[in-house]
Amino acid sequence: MASTSAEAAAPATSSSPAAGDAAKPPVAIVCIGMAGSGKTTFMQRINAYLHQKKDPPYVMNLDPAVTHSPFQSNIDIRDSVNYKKVMEEYKLGPNGGIMTSLNLFSTKVDQVMNILEKRAAPDPENPAKKPINRILVDTPGQIEVFVWSASGTILLESLASSFPTVIAYIIDTPRSSSTSTFMSNMLYACSILYKMKLPMILVFNKADAKDPSFAKEWMNDYEAFQEALTEDENSNAFGGGEGEGGGGSGYMSGLINSMSLMLEEFYSHLSIVGVSSLYGTGIDEFFAAVDEKAEEFKKDYQPELDRRRTEREENKKKQREKELAKMMKDMNLGNPSATSAFADIKADDDEEELKVLSSDEDDEIDMDEDDKEGLQARYEAAMQNDSTTTADASFAKYLHTQQR
């Protein structure tokens, strides 16, 4: 669980890293939340907070449908994709337009990652220019469009492959005051956590309108949640009249009760903070939780990402070898007569032409040794050199090609 506000006050200063931390990679904070949860206002608040700390973040907007943004973005999907034209050309509705826009943008993920990696490193030509320490990512309010789409996976995996990445799940606190809505939010957060496989912070927003202490108590104290559930059931909060025959209220309370038991383990992996985006309260505590989750990412998540990256590289190597074998077969190098014909042609050449064919004037061409294996070795070396300079240049590009 997250620290209290008093405890978080001391480490909050770490949100502006000292000069000794300049070599550390920036932490990517991906803000996800349902429409109306105050996600955009929260983004504006943490952006302003970091600017106030003289540690400006690098901001990405991935919502192609937003008409007005209260903060400036360094990378904006709207600069690359015209959401309205996408809807017109592909004859799509609003959600389909957002998803298609994200898919189109994800084809440029290589360029995005190159920009971020360049800004995260010191600039030799301008030493006074500080590398970025935070990357803020705003996502569409249609949460399922980003979380469950292939493009969302590509973008998040690309970020996580280069930087410690933390999910900030924004929750509308006043609307979560009932046990049924609270449980719905927890189930959604649980699905995001296990889909994205990244550390998560639950941000109970609008703390000025409703104190989120009740949510922390429900997550820490099973009995307290049971009391609230019984109270909602007695007050007919689930609808349908009184008693077991009143439209299923008994079913609802039993289902919510079972889910609360199931989610106890899930709660233990979360940090919880209460924030008021309007007044700025709780922001120190939020960044303390971000630092904590960044360390958790390096300890618990990075080894798994490295393992998956190594596995992908091995699969890529096997694919290259398969393509090489196919190429050699297409060239009929498995046919001994092809090698003999090649030898006969060289044997008929005069000495000067042989010198041109040879890679070194002092070397003699020995046709007995320059056989199929030698030729294949040269092709392998050429393909290996090419792969190290192009195919392996970008892990993000590999992710993109795998999603096709």
Nearest CA to 370 out of 403, 345, 400 is that of: 345
Q: Per residue in 267-280, pLDDT tens?
A: 887 899 999 999 99
Q: Give the C-alpha separation, 62 to 73, whole Å.
A: 10
Q: What is the pLDDT of residue 332?
A: 53
Q: Give the C-alpha separation, 317 to 296, whole Å.
A: 31
The yes-or-no verdict on residue 365 having pLDDT over 60 is no
Q: What is the pLDDT of residue 375?
A: 52
Q: What is the pLDDT of residue 203?
A: 97
Residue 386, SS3 per DSSP: helix
Q: pLDDT higher for 220 or 394?
A: 220
pLDDT, mean over the chain:
77
Q: pLDDT higher for 333 or 185?
A: 185
Neighbouring residues of 184: CB distance < 8 A, sequence distance ≥ 6: none
The yes-or-no verdict on residue 364 having pLDDT over 80 is no
Strand duo 58-61 + 75-76: pairing: parallel
Q: What is the pLDDT of residue 194?
A: 84
Residue 287, both tokens: 């960044």
Q: Which residues on neighbouring strands pair with residue 205, listed in sequence order?
A: 172
Q: What is the pLDDT of residue 123?
A: 85
| pTM (predicted TM-score) | 0.71
> pLDDT band at 20, cuts 50/70/90?
very low
Backbone angles phi, psi at 203, to 5 degrees: -105, 105
Q: Per residue in 65-96, pLDDT tens?
A: 988 889 999 999 999 999 999 999 999 999 89
Q: What is the pLDDT of residue 134?
A: 96
Neighbouring residues of 49: CB distance < 8 A, sequence distance ≥ 6: 15, 280, 283, 287
Q: Give the C-alpha separation, 170 to 165, whole Å.
A: 16
Residue type, 100: T
Q: Per residue in 136-161, pLDDT tens?
A: 999 998 888 888 888 888 899 889 98
Neighbouring residues of 310: CB distance < 8 A, sequence distance ≥ 6: none
The yes-or-no verdict on residue 362 having pLDDT over 60 is no
Work out the percent of the chain whose per-residue pLDDT is above 90.
Answer: 38
> pLDDT band at 310, cuts 50/70/90?
confident
Nearest CA to 142 out of 200, 61, 86, 65 is that of: 65
In this prediction, residues 170-189 reach a mean pLDDT of 92
Concatenating the DSSP letter of every residue in 25-50 gives PPEEEEEEE-TTS-HHHHHHHHHHHH
Q: Give the C-alpha separation, 205 to 212, whole Å.
A: 8
Work out the percent of the chain whose per-residue pLDDT is above 70.
Answer: 70
In this prediction, residues 325-348 reach a mean pLDDT of 47
Rg of the chain on CA atoms, in Å:
29
In this prediction, residues 347-368 reach a mean pLDDT of 45
The yes-or-no verdict on residue 338 having pLDDT over 50 is no
Q: What is the pLDDT of residue 272?
A: 93
Contact 194, 155 (CB under 8 A): no
Nearest CA to 253 out of 176, 179, 173 is that of: 179
Q: In terms of C-beta distances under 8 Å and separation of at least 24 residues, what long-range contacts does 288-291 make, across chains too?
A: 288/2, 288/3, 288/8, 288/11, 288/12, 288/14, 288/15, 289/2, 289/3, 289/8, 289/201, 290/15, 290/27, 290/29, 290/166, 290/168, 290/201, 291/11, 291/14, 291/15, 291/27
The yes-or-no verdict on residue 232 having pLDDT over 80 is yes
DSSP state of 7: H
Q: What is the pLDDT of residue 348?
A: 43
Half-sphere exposure of 182 (CA within 13 A, CB side): 27
Q: What is the pLDDT of residue 24?
A: 83
Q: What is the pLDDT of residue 35?
A: 86
In this prediction, residues 344-372 reach a mean pLDDT of 45
The yes-or-no verdict on residue 384 having pLDDT over 70 is no
Alpha-carbon torsion angle 169, 225, 263, 199, nearest 10: 30
Residue 366, both tokens: 């020995």
